[in-house]
Amino acid sequence: MLIPIDELSAETLHSIAESFVLREGTDYGEVEASFDEKVAQVLAQLKAGDVVLVYSELHETVDIRSKDALPLPDDEDA
């Protein structure tokens, strides 16, 4: 289930981005970015719609995924 970011407080959204950066150990290319820069980049991607928040009812977790990696509406049965 997708979570609209505009329905979350700024603090909650920031905490989710921090958790994602810590969990993923995300690589941002040849230039090393600080933790705060990585969080800001994730937040910018969320606000731009490049990535989305996904809630798993089965695992009761929230994840950040590329919108391109999500199944198309016609693929829901797959």
Q: What is the pTM of this model?
A: 0.79
User: For 30-67, how does the pLDDT look when each residue is reduced to its tens digit (9 = 90+)?
Assistant: 667 889 999 999 999 999 999 999 999 999 999 999 98
What domains does the chain contain, in order, with CATH numbers? 2-67 (1.10.10.610)
Report the Cα–Cα distance between both ends of the chain, in Å, rounded.
15
CA distance 4 to 52: 8
User: For 13-27, how does the pLDDT look when each residue is reduced to its tens digit (9 = 90+)?
Assistant: 999 999 999 987 656
CA distance 24 to 78: 27
